[in-house]
Structure formats: structure tokens, C-alpha cells
Amino acid sequence: MKHTADYLIVGSGAVGMAFADVLLTETDATMIIVDRFAKPGGHWNVAYPFVTLHQPSAYYGVSSRELGTGRLETDGLNKGLSELATGAEISAYFDAVMREQFIPSGRVQYFPMCDYQGDGHFINTVSGQTHHATVTKMVDATHLKTTVPSTHTPNFDVAPDVRFMPLNDLPTIDTPPDGFVVIGTGKTGIDAVLWLLQNDVSPDDIRWIMPRDAWLLDRANTQPDPSFFHQTMEAQAAQMESIAQAESVPDMFDRLEACGYFVRIDTDVRPQMFHGATISQAELAALRRVKHNIIRLGRVSSITERVITLEHGTIATTANTVHVDCSARAISNMEIKPIFDGHVITPQMVRSYQPVFSAAFIAHIEATYDDETEKNRLCGVVPLPNHDTDYLRFTAAFMMNQYNWGQDKALRKWLRGNRLDGFSDMVASIAPEDTDKIAVMTRIKDNSFPAMGKLQAFLAALGG
């Protein structure tokens, strides 16, 4: 079958949906959306059953439709903070956006269960029907390659009789095992440990293989609710001050931790990793209950019924121990491409921690600007962080974007009106009589240029 449209969007995950939503709202463009899943939402279709966002729901989804109610949690480990949508809520949300907004517009053709072959060709994986799309531009919304435990193949050997599972399968356990070994340091590993603790597993029965400790963000500093203005914006001010006043990279991290911008699970171990994960203070306290059962012997090489072999040693295990695979990295593709490159658009991060906002912003730039050089100037790629020092590149790139956006009056207006932004409206709503809030913003302004200079100097010393 042959189809025509202005845009072919490959991927109906959060990035593809956020991009399409802005085009639908701000242009009269037609779109073809192709995805291999049966429903929109990308990796949320195969996420573990107890997953939630780790950022407030207010920052997630598409620009035109709220996700959640804006409430603050009243119990649990996120008590007092903005709600975190569950995986089921997010899947239902994206399905509703597609069924109730995109398709009824008459400008979106949606092809689920289709494998994109390249050059406008895609095949329905159920029927075998072939399709070809003739379009003006192609949007690769799969570039960031989000991976999840249930579809991840571990890069170590696992003997056939080992009890080994992704954390998706933890709720299927019906008989207590000898214990649990959680493999992985990132947000998935954190979620696995917290789920076990919340289900009354003793900390003594959990061992956590942690190849690298991570710097984490205090979620209380990322809240969009106006009542959190001081905590959120003072955290930004303290970040700028910490960078500007730092005498070295280690000193910078010490200052960032001292001001509360960064936290870590074990204050006796220097983190070597930074992925931008957020955590509440209650979650941090819970994780510290297993502090003395953390295994720091590098990455796993193999698992048998009796022995786990790691890079720097071995530990004993048993045939009745459950080994939980949390070793998949959420976003696995670190390659940076020009976002606008001829007829191809490749959404990537242009704001730290926010791939969905980034996709919406990129779509707005596509809808508003004509010159490709200017588009790429406004959409400088914020590189995904992995190592601790990647925080420097990550932060410097976003600060440059933020500076460029601030010089454009129309962009400032768009940012304030876009619900995925959050902070711009919080700042723009400061009244002249709010002298305490103005003082916070003055701290940010006064330290931004010195902080950028310090970041560039540190990066030069690190070799770029």
C-alpha cells in the first residue's frame, strides 16, 4: 500500500508522541506514525508492573494534555511531593491521546505492529502487508533507544538452572527464596530494591551488585508546584554557586552535595556514575538499610548455581537465590547526530533530564523556523550522561541552550505557555513585591556566567 504525508514519524513512544502533538497543534501538517508495538507508548508497553515515573507527572506526556491531576502524594516514599504516574496510567494516557486526539484530527495515519525498513518502507509484522510512505520529512523518534529489563539480553553468562529474572517477574514469586541478588546500579536497580523492601523482604536477604555508585538528584528540588518555588529555584541557585566557586572537579561535586543538589546512597563511597536519576529522601533512607550488603567488585561476568563471578572477585550464591537483572541502561544510544539534517529530524535531548520536553521543543522549532543552521543552533544536543564528569558537559550544553532561548522573545513566550516546561511559568509569575523570590533569581543570574566559565575550564582540563 502507498501513503503520502508531510512527516513520517518512526516511533510512537513518548518522544514521537510529544513531537507529533506539537506539529498537530501548531501546524496543518499531515503525519504517518509507524511503531512496532500494538499501542502507542513505546517502552511503557513492556515496562515492569510496579514502575512509576521518577520525575513529576507534570513534566511528562504531550504538551496539549495533562498527565495526572497535579496532586501531591499523601503517603508512601514520595509523600509530600508531586505525583508520579504509574506505568499503567502512562500507557492508558498515550493510548487516549492517539485515539481521542491524533486519529480524530484526520491528519494522522497510525500504523501499529509495523517494522520500519527504511526509505519509507514498513511491514506489518502480523499480516505481512507492505507499505510505502512518500513524505517530505522523516522523524527518527527511536534514536535514543530506550531499553527495559524484559527485553534486555544481559552481557554476562547465566547457567541454565540459575533463578534469573528481570524485575518484571518479581511479582510472580510465590515462595520465599534463599535471598535476592539485585544486579545493576541505576534507577531500575533502585526500584527493585525498594519494591523488595516494601514487600517486607529483610535488608539482610538482599545483596546489591553495584559496579559503580551514582550521584542522584533530590526529587524535592525538581517540583513544579508553586509552593516549592524556594526549594526548586534555590537548588538551581545553589548549583550555579557551587560550580562558580569550585576550585576543582572534586571540589565542585563536594559543594553540590553539601548544598543538597546531589545525594548518594553511601556517603563513604565516591560515585563514578551520573545518569540523572531522582530520588526522595524517604527512598534514600530505605536504600541505606541495605548499605552493608552492597557488592562492589565490578560488573558480573557469569552466574552459576553456586558462584557469581565479577570483574574483581567472586561471591557465593545458591540454586534457590533469585537473581534480578537490572543491568539494562534506560537509554542505550550515546551517539550524537545533528537534530536537523536535510529531510531527517532526529530528536535528542536539548534540556537536561527532559527528553519529552525536548521533543516538543524541537517540534516547535521545526514548525517556526526555516533556516537549518538556526534550528540546530537553538537545538544544541545535551549529551546523555554516564560517567560522573559527564555532568559537566551535560550542564554546559543545556546552559548554552538556555542562554540562546532567553535571547528570543517569542521562544520565551512559548516556553512559559508549554506545560512540559514548568519552570519558565514559575519564574515569569514572580511579582515585583516578591523580593525573596527575586533574590533567588538574582543569585542564579549572578552565578550563571561564572559557572559556565568554570565548566569550560574544567572540561578543557579533562580534555574536552
- pLDDT per residue over 416-460, tens digit each? 999 998 788 788 888 999 999 999 999 999 999 999 999 999 999
DSSP string, 102-164: IGGGTSEEEE-SEEEEETTEEEETTT--EEEEEEEEEEETTTT-B--GGGPPPSSEE-TTS-E
pLDDT of residue 224: 85
Q: For the purposes of burial, counting CB atoms within 10 Å of the CB of 92, is it exposed (0-12), middle (13-18) or buried (19 or more)?
A: middle
| % of the chain residues with pLDDT over 90 | 88
Q: C-alpha cell of 389?
A: 564528569
Q: What is the pLDDT of residue 297?
A: 97
Position 173 pLDDT exceeds 80: yes
pLDDT of 147: 67
For 233-285, how does the pLDDT look when each residue is reduced to its tens digit (9 = 90+)?
999 999 999 999 999 999 999 999 999 999 999 999 999 999 999 999 999 99
The closest alpha carbon to 405, from 443, 444, 344, 362, belongs to: 362
pLDDT of residue 194: 97
Q: How far is CA 344 from the centre of its chain?
A: 23
Q: Of 35-39, 118-122, 415-419, which gets the smallest average pLDDT?
A: 415-419
pLDDT at residue 225 greater than cutoff 70: yes
pLDDT tens, position by position, 45-88: 999 999 999 889 988 999 999 998 888 999 999 999 999 999 99
CB crowding 266-300: b at 16 or more within 10 Å, else e: eeeeebebbbbbbbbebbbebbeebeebbbbbebb
Do the two domains 2-146+332-378 and 149-213+264-325 of this chain adopt the same fold?
Answer: yes
Percent of the chain with pLDDT over 70: 98
DSSP class of residue 385?
P
Give Cα 305 distance to the centre of its chain.
35
Structure confidence at residue 144 as a pLDDT band (50, 70, 90):
confident
Q: What is the residue extent of each domain of the chain?
A: 2-146+332-378, 149-213+264-325
- Per the CB < 8 A criterion, the answer to whether 184 and 209 are in contact is yes
- Residue closest to 281 by CA, chosen among 220, 193, 213: 220
| CATH number given to 2-146+332-378 | 3.50.50.60
17-37 pLDDT, tens digit per residue, is: 999 999 999 999 999 999 999
Q: Which residues contact 410 (CB under 8 A, 6 or more apart)?
A: 368
Alpha-carbon span 245 to 228, nearest angstrom: 26
Residue 207 confidence (pLDDT) above 70: yes
Of the pLDDT bands very low, low, confident and very high (cuts 50, 70, 90), residue 227 is confident
- What pLDDT was estimated at residue 426? 83
Q: What is the pLDDT of residue 328?
A: 82
Q: Is the pLDDT of residue 126 over 80?
A: yes
In the predicted structure, residue 334 carries a pLDDT above the cut 90 = no
Give the closest residue to 358 by CA, choosing from 326, 391, 387, 383.
383
- DSSP code of residue 101: I
CA-closest candidate to residue 308, choices 199, 173, 203, 154: 154
Superfamily of segment(s) 149-213+264-325: FAD/NAD(P)-binding domain (3.50.50.60)
For the entire predicted model, the pTM comes to 0.95
Answer yes or no: is pLDDT of 203 > 90. yes
pLDDT at 423: 81
Average pLDDT, the chain: 94
Q: What share of the chain is helix, strand, coil (3-state, %, to 5)?
A: 40, 20, 40
Q: How far is CA 20 from CA 69, 344, 417, in A?
A: 23, 15, 18
* Helix (H) / strand (E) containing 282: helix 281-287
CB contact at 8 A, 310 and 209: yes
What is the chain's length? Answer: 464
**359-407 pLDDT per residue, tens:** 999 999 999 999 999 999 999 999 999 999 999 999 999 999 999 999 9
What SS3 class is residue 64?
A: coil
